[in-house]
Amino acid sequence: MRALQVDKGGRTRHDPRVRVLAAELAALEDAGLRRRLRPLASASDAEVLLDGRRVLLLSSNNYLGLATHPAVKAAACAAIERWGCGTGASRLIAGHLELHAEVEAKLAALKGTEAALLFPSGYQANVGAITTLVGRGDHVFSDALNHASIVDGCRLSRASVHVYPHRDVQTLEAELAATARGGRRLIVTDSVFSMDGDRAPLEALAALAEHYHSWLMVDEAHATGVLGPGGAGLAEAEGLGARVTVHMGTLGKALGAAGAYVAGARALVDLLVNRARTFIYTTGLAPAAVAAAGAALEVVATEPERRAALVQNAATLRDGLRALGLDARGDTHIVPLMVGDNRAALAFADALLARDVHALAIRPPTVPPGTARLRVTPMATHTAAQLERALAAFADAARATGCQP
């Protein structure tokens, strides 16, 4: 058989095996579901360069603006000088640096746990933790709107997966009560839901976990660095830290770096080191990211005004959008602006971008069908004048696209 010439664009287009892929993309396009990468020409900030224009960025999880904080950048540069650019191996081989241990200790202190473990990404942290804790014959109970990495962790675990309706603790309790004894049980939830900006009913979940002999795992990806008196997350904010078995969070959102952690009992962390395939079979998190996260934790502690500014900016946006008659939801720094139809959401986002505001349309499968939305996320570093400009653009764009109710 002759080898396929994959490097000559002209030929691959006529290859039937490539045409199958093009047809699938065309179907996505027809459904208003095609996604495209858009390169920014500048760092993640309140304003960014996109297609040669300066636009207000309202789609970033760099909530506190720490990705460009001078102390965070300096820590990353110093780490490269001292530790190099890459770790060169998985943590268990030769990729575990004292730097990792140092930042893991910092994270454990923040979370008030015995230990913490860094992962290269939140996706890997969730998949690794869930598949370590439960397996065939066990039960995992997962909120319907949990992040895709939790969904994938549940599937890969081979445990029986019980998906309960969003925040519905009554249905969850019925499921727990109806599940035969024997086998391990894990309840897993986002703390702040990434596309809805609402909060998990953690107190009720903790009580159910205790009553039904279940572990409770909380994904604080959107709350780490943001919520709680010390910035540890929603569990800290509600005084529930000690009742959570598995604390997970990311370093790439409010902390402005990259990577993630799982925190909890020493035995949990030691077991993850031995069993979590997404930890064992991957190269250790790069020094720059580890050091940046460590420095960001200090900024969170020493500059609480950033958290206050984020709360203020989110309230300004949410209230302003509602005053325009738009359906802005959530009760955190994530402000979903509900549209419904995929194409309408895309048209709204395009109209905004034409007015120099970048707020991305979020469509299925990231959100349930019929619930396309703009996910609007301010940063602590947006000024009042910038938000005013953004709200004027929302008003115009809503009128121009007929999205106004």
SS3 at position 97: coil
Which segment (7-15, 160-168, 218-226, 286-294) binds ligand PLP by CB under 6 A?
Answer: 218-226
Told to check if 249 binds ligand PLP by CB under 6 A, we report no
The token duo for 213 is 């002999």
Q: Which residues contact residue 104 at a Cβ distance below 8 angstroms, ignoring those fewer than 6 apart?
A: 115, 116, 117, 118, 261
Active site residue 333: no
Query: Is the CB of residue 334 less than 8 Å from the CB of residue 147?
Result: no
The token duo for 180 is 């035969």
Told to check if 167 binds ligand PLP by CB under 6 A, we report no
Which residue's C-beta sits nearest to ligand PLP?
122
Told to check if 250 binds ligand PLP by CB under 6 A, we report yes
Query: Is the CB of residue 154 less than 8 Å from the CB of residue 141?
Result: no
Least distance between ligand PLP and beta carbon 249 (Å): 9
Q: Which of 191, 194, 214, 382 is catalytic?
A: 194
Q: Count how many residues are written for the chain.
A: 405
Told to check if 63 binds ligand PLP by CB under 6 A, we report no
Active site residue 222: yes
Site for ligand PLP in 88-127 (CB under 6 A): 121-123, 126
Segment (H or E) for 375: strand 372-376
Segment (H or E) for 249: strand 246-250
Question: Strand pairing of 260-264 and 335-340?
Answer: unpaired
CB atoms within 10 A of CB 11: 12
Q: Which of 69, 222, 333, 358 is catalytic?
A: 222
Active site residue 147: no
Nearest one of 183, 179, 245 to 216, comparing CA atoms? 245
Told to check if 190 binds ligand PLP by CB under 6 A, we report yes
Question: Strand pairing of 372-376 and 361-362?
Answer: antiparallel
Told to check if 147 binds ligand PLP by CB under 6 A, we report yes
Site for ligand PLP in 293-322 (CB under 6 A): none
Q: Which is nearer to ligand PLP, 175 or 190 (CB)?
A: 190
Q: Which is nearer to ligand PLP, 147 or 355 (CB)?
A: 147
Q: Which is nearer to ligand PLP, 110 or 254 (CB)?
A: 254
Q: Please name the residue that has the structure tokens 């990729």.
A: 95
Query: Is the CB of residue 175 less than 8 Å from the CB of residue 164?
Result: yes
Least distance between ligand PLP and beta carbon 30 (Å): 29
Which segment (16-24, 165-173, 216-224, 349-357) binds ligand PLP by CB under 6 A?
Answer: 216-224
Would you please indicate which residues are annotated as catalytic (active-site) residues?
194, 222, 253
Write out the residues near ligand PLP by the rule CB under 6 A.
Answer: 121-123, 126, 147, 149, 190, 194, 219, 221-222, 250, 252, 260
